[in-house]
Structure 1
Amino acid sequence: MLPLEFINQLSELLPADRIYTDPVECYTYAYDNSRKIFPPEAVVFPLTTEEVVAILLLCNANKIPLTPRGRGTGTAGGSLPEKGGIALSLERMVRIIRVDPANRVVVAEPGVLNQEIQTAVKPYGFFWPPDPSSAAFSTIGGNLATSAGGPHAVKYGTTRDHVLGLKGVTGAGEVIKTGCYTTKGVVGYDLTRLLIGSEGTLAVITEATLKLTPLPEKQGGLVAYYCDAISCAAAIVAIMGIPRGPSALEFLDAGSLNLIRARFPDLLPSNCQAMLMIEVDGSQTEISETIHNILYACHNSGLLQAEQVINSENLWKARKALSPLLRDIAPKKINEDVVVPVNTLPQFLDELTQLATQYRIANVNFGHAGNGNIHVNLLINPDDTEENYRAEKCLNEIFDLVIRLNGTLSGEHGIGREKRAYVDKEIDPTTLTLMKRIKQLFDPNDILNPGKLFP
């Protein structure tokens, strides 16, 4: 229970309609898309940087844990108030402060939705490239917290590549400004890239200066169907070797295709066991040349069919429906967004199949293959203790495989609480110790999203 004196002091900082202490109201902020539940003891809704400072100083004085939060669309448990205390919801900080087309910049508060940014800058001929599947619901703050990616990261990169500067409040309650307003700037350490992906463990981001990209002139689409996943993976390696490659390259395995067939019966060939969804963009001349080169790269012994599609809207709708469809058939799933070098994808998918078979775990795999970013979904019965044990053993070996192939444990979902036990597979003790020292410097009382990221 929070001390009554603390609640009274909190009430002096914010009006009553921006403080929740009723357990029923707080429960809404107890979970995210990881489906784990950790109720906070209070939820607060700041509107300004100054209010965030005041809240953090009060929490510091009372050693009260504070967990920053956007809309709770994350899958790694990064926004769960695991230690109780305060959930700091930034969902009401929703101002788009400035759209500056001459400098290709938009300045926004963390509660603005990704899609709202796209809508605001599109009339000027620009877009903000990070495009997670939750773009319509996820906030800019959440995208920054995990360095969100999405299908178009293969050409445009992830969130880290599209932020010029930040304003934030450290765990000690100090306001910091990182980066600059210009696309060139090398003054001081790059704290902007440090904060992006730190999952709210170092500072609460209250303002972001985002770098915009011109909208492509045109877009084109292709599909390629394969008789097996290994042939499909070999095609991915060939496609990514093309100098002017795709703007999106999505891989779907047999399990994914079966889910789509159940929802969209006439969309896919019946004998297809793996599929690529490919998008290209640029001028009409560039698109024609790129499509020609990609169609050539698609050809191998496992190819069933490869063709250009005039309207890929239904395909993308089916792709985005995969995660909800998985939830329907497997309320309990282990969802991992591992990344391996593209040229190792055939080996990764082959050994992944062997592990799933060895441990007798159903799995469905899809993802942003152009980056080597595969979403591995282990489907398990939450009431079967023995199956859960086998799944954990399987997952541990999957992570070992990823590291052996020079990959990384997370491409865009973050570490949060779900993957923290495995972090030392990837990060050596010396580097991990340095990271913990950085955390202590930003957050000396360890109140800011405590317990996340580190084993």
Structure 2
Amino acid sequence: MTTPDPERPLSKAAIKALKDAVGAGNLLTEAADRWPYGGDNSRLHAPPQAVAFATDADQIQALVDACRSHWIPLVTRGLGSGTTGATVPDQGGVVLSMERMNRILEVDPDNRMMVVEPGVTNQAVQDAAAQHGFFWPPDPTSAAYCTVGGNLAYNSAGPRAVKYGTPRENTLGLTAVTGAGRLLRTGVYTTKGVVGYDLTRLLIGSEGTLGVITQATLRLTPLAEGKRTLQAVYDSMDAAAQAVSRIMAQPVVPCALEFMDGRAIEMIRDYSQANLPEAAGALLMIEVDGPLAGLDDAAQRVADAARGKGNLSVALAKSENEVKALWATRKALSPALRRVAPKKINEDVVVPVSRIPELIRGLESLGRRHDITIVCFGHAGNGNIHVNLLIDPDDARQMKAAATCLDQVFTLVLELRGSISGEHGVGLAKRDFVGRELGAEVLGLMEGIKATFDPAGILNPGKGVPPAPQ
């Protein structure tokens, strides 16, 4: 593929081909109309040369063929809630918005399945499943407005992944259009199946670089009869991390195990009415679900595991109001962070649960070394830690220090046998660090896979993996 020029308008022939593919009413070419589709929640932005909407797989195949014929990059987009710039059209081209492919095509409670289009929101899926007594386990905090297609593109999971797994474990099959314009049907409509390579799991997490997902078969899980909510407070992050290891080593697996470090607690205390001990250095929010019979005993076993050296308190909610009061502490964190550092750097690294104490100690050391406040919270049950560097982008000195600090954060994570991204994806923001985790041999294989799925290189070019050396 020749190097695209995002500043150059598309040719009349290219625009005609795009209109023929999706219909004139499904193509935006005016600058003001295109602008909103150039960014995501990463704050990176680049306006596309056109925005296309599709309502079925046939239109998407025709659109891919048109882009391939005219050497136009094609970037697929949900509703733009991603944080790594994966849907930013930095090389120009066409943004394909999936917002009009938002139907739930089938709900099959007898087989615990649901078939959906990629533009449906996560919350719409949960609501439809709940009517039959089920849920789809992935539950990102942006569930109200993120799409299933986006969840699949990033393999975004949320708190419930600690017990129920990620989209890869809860998606049985896909249909997708490759960069060659071919329609693939991957996976099965059963909970077992071993015929052929697992292309479903390959497409999930590929950030639109291998194919455009047009349909997904989701595996549903029965709603639990009940849930118990606990809050455990510790005098240090190390004590909390040791408690996480104890909790995850006993037979009752929590459906959520979230944590906040001491700096996060200080912010909450400053910007909310949360009642927390002055000596609090870390906090765990824990949920246990399951059958009502034995649920209280299960919650007690988790509470017992949460107690230990450095534990200041363990509170078990006894009513819905108490549940809301405990979670209010966690929900106060994001607004507090936005007030203190509205343009913070937010990374979502992941390490083995047993290495969380080393990660936190290492991050504290990096913060002191570079004079940057680092606030940590996240999904402790699977070691997925959100590392927030509170910086001012208008301060050149601080931005330079932040770049060095972030580089060392990723080095620390890899030394602890972790990964540089748990669920936010790679996109543009982490692309240049991928080789450090995967190595040259794996990158070479990935380039070959990309070429097989997308021989012209039109699908979301430049995302997910660093450019090959020239």
Aligned-residue offset at 1:410:
0.6
Residues 1:419 and 2:430 are matched in the alignment: yes
Structure 2 gaps, min length 5: 1-8
- Structure-1 residue corresponding to 2:240: 232
Residue 408 of structure 2 aligns to a residue in which SS? helix
Q: Is the 8 A contact 1:29 1:43 kept in 2?
A: yes
- Structure-2 residue corresponding to 1:380: 391
My pick for the range that moved more, 132-141 or 254-263, is 254-263
- Structure-2 residue corresponding to 1:67: 75
Residues 1:347 and 2:355 are matched in the alignment: no
Letter in 2 for 1:186: V
- Structure-1 residue corresponding to 2:123: 115
Residues 1:103 and 2:114 are matched in the alignment: no
- Structure-1 residue corresponding to 2:28: 20
Equivalent residue runs for 1:176-187 within 5 Å: 176-187=184-195
TM-score relative to the length of structure 1: 0.97
Among 388, 405, 429, the alignment partner of 2:440 is: 429
Among 356, 366, 382, the alignment partner of 2:377 is: 366
Structure 1 gaps, min length 5: none
Distance in 2 (alpha carbons) for counterparts of 1:325 and 1:112? 30
Q: Is the 8 A contact 1:66 1:447 kept in 2?
A: yes
Aligned-residue offset at 1:320:
4.2
- Structure-2 residue corresponding to 1:207: 215
Distance in 2 (alpha carbons) for counterparts of 1:286 and 1:148? 31
Aligned-residue offset at 1:317:
4.6
- Alignment RMSD: 1.3
Among 125, 137, 151, the alignment partner of 2:159 is: 151
Q: Is the 8 A contact 2:227 2:287 kept in 1?
A: yes
Distance in 1 (alpha carbons) for counterparts of 2:436 and 2:359? 17
Q: Is the 8 A contact 1:42 1:87 kept in 2?
A: yes
Residue 160 of structure 1 aligns to a residue in which SS? helix
Q: Is the 8 A contact 1:245 1:290 kept in 2?
A: no
Aligned-residue offset at 1:244:
1.5
Distance in 1 (alpha carbons) for counterparts of 2:388 and 2:96? 30
Q: Is the 8 A contact 2:268 2:274 kept in 1?
A: no
Aligned-residue offset at 1:113:
0.3
Letter in 1 for 2:373: A
1:326-345 CA distance string (max 9 Å, x none): 23321322111000000111
1:15-36 CA distance string (max 9 Å, x none): 3332111111111111101001
Distance in 1 (alpha carbons) for counterparts of 2:329 and 2:32? 36
Residues 1:306 and 2:314 are matched in the alignment: yes
Distance in 2 (alpha carbons) for counterparts of 1:267 and 1:140? 37
Distance in 2 (alpha carbons) for counterparts of 1:339 and 1:266? 28
Residues 1:400 and 2:398 are matched in the alignment: no
- Structure-2 residue corresponding to 1:450: 461
Residue 429 of structure 2 aligns to a residue in which SS? coil
Distance in 2 (alpha carbons) for counterparts of 1:325 and 1:209? 38
Aligned-residue offset at 1:318:
4.4
Q: State, as a whole percentage, how many aligned pairs show the same letter.
A: 50
Aligned-residue offset at 1:321:
4.9
Aligned-residue offset at 1:292:
1.7
Task: Give the total of aligned pairs.
Answer: 455
Letter in 2 for 1:68: T
Letter in 1 for 2:112: R
Aligned-residue offset at 1:260:
2.4
Q: Is the 8 A contact 1:133 1:320 kept in 2?
A: no
Distance in 2 (alpha carbons) for counterparts of 1:323 and 1:24? 31
Among 451, 455, 463, the alignment partner of 1:440 is: 451
- Structure-2 residue corresponding to 1:297: 305
Equivalent residue runs for 1:37-186 within 5 Å: 37-186=45-194
- Structure-2 residue corresponding to 1:334: 345
TM-score relative to the length of structure 2: 0.94
